[in-house]
C-alpha cells in the first residue's frame, strides 16, 4: 500500500523556504526595490538565487524520497540522482556569484525566472572560474563523478521509464510539483524586484 509523504518533509521544506523568503524580503527592504548595479542590487540577486537553490534542493529531496517510498529498489540510484541534480543547481548558483563579480550585466532580472536562470555562460567563463576558485573545481569533479554513477547505473533506464509512466502521474508527485511551482513563482516575483533603475 502506498504511503503518503511524511508531514515532516513538508515542514522542513516550508521552514527552509520561509528562511530563504525572509532573506529576500530583508534584502528587498535594504535595496528599496532596486537601484543601480550597486551593493543592494547584488545582494538582492544573491538572495533570490539562494531562494531558487533552496526550492530546487527541496524539490530534489522530496522527489528522491517519493521514489524510494514507492520503489525501494531504486534507493541507491535515486540518491545519486538527487545529489547530482542538487550539485548542478549549486554550480549554477555559484556562477551567479562569479557573474556578479565579473560581468553583472549578463544577469537578466527583468524578463522572468527563465532568463534569470539561463544566463550566457561560455567556455572562457568556465576556464576562468576554475582558475579562480578551488571550490568550483571540486564541485565540477563531484558533478562529473555523480554523472558517471547515474548514467552508468544499470537501473537508470528502468527508473526513467518508471518516472515517465507512473510516478509523474501520481497525486504525490503532482503535490510536490505544485509546491515547487509555487516557490518558483515566489522567486520570480523576487527577481522582478531586483532591477536596475
For 135-190, what is each residue's pLDDT tens digit? 999 999 999 999 999 999 999 999 999 999 999 999 999 999 999 999 999 999 99
0.75 surpassed by pTM: yes
Residue 2 located in a structural domain: no
Asked if the structure places residue 100 within a domain, the reply is yes
**What is the domain extent for residue 136?**
7-193
User: How confident is the model at residue 197, as a pLDDT?
Assistant: 56
Asked if 34 contacts 194 with a C-beta cutoff of 8 angstroms, the reply is yes
The verdict on residue 1 lying in a domain is no
Count structural domains, the chain: 1
Per-residue pLDDT of 17-62, as tens digits, reads 444 444 444 333 333 343 344 558 899 999 999 999 999 999 999 9
Q: Tell me the DSSP string of 150-187.
A: HHT-TTHHHHHHHHHHTGGGSHHHHHHHHHHHHHHHHH
Amino acid at each position: 500500500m502506498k504511503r503518503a509523504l511524511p508531514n515532516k518533509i513538508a515542514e522542513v521544506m516550508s521552514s527552509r523556504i520561509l528562511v530563504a523568503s525572509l532573506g529576500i524580503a530583508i534584502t528587498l527592504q535594504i535595496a528599496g526595490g532596486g537601484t543601480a548595479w550597486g551593493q543592494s542590487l547584488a545582494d538582492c540577486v544573491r538572495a533570490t538565487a539562494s531562494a531558487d537553490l533552496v526550492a530546487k534542493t527541496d524539490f530534489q529531496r522530496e522527489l528522491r524520497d517519493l521514489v524510494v517510498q514507492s520503489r525501494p529498489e531504486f534507493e541507491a540510484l535515486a540518491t545519486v540522482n538527487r545529489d547530482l541534480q542538487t550539485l548542478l543547481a549549486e554550480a549554477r548558483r555559484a556562477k551567479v556569484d562569479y557573474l556578479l563579480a565579473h560581468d553583472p550585466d549578463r544577469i537578466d532580472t527583468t524578463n522572468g525566472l527563465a532568463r534569470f536562470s539561463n544566463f550566457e555562460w561560455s567556455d572562457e567563463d568556465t576556464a576562468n572560474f576554475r582558475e579562480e576558485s578551488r571550490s568550483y573545481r571540486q564541485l565540477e569533479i563531484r558533478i562529473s563523478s555523480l554523472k558517471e554513477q547515474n548514467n552508468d547505473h544499470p537501473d537508470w533506464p528502468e527508473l526513467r521509464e518508471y518516472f515517465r509512466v507512473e510516478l509523474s502521474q501520481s497525486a504525490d508527485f503532482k503535490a510536490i510539483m505544485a509546491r515547487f511551482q509555487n516557490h518558483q513563482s515566489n522567486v520570480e516575483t523576487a527577481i522582478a524586484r531586483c532591477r536596475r533603475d
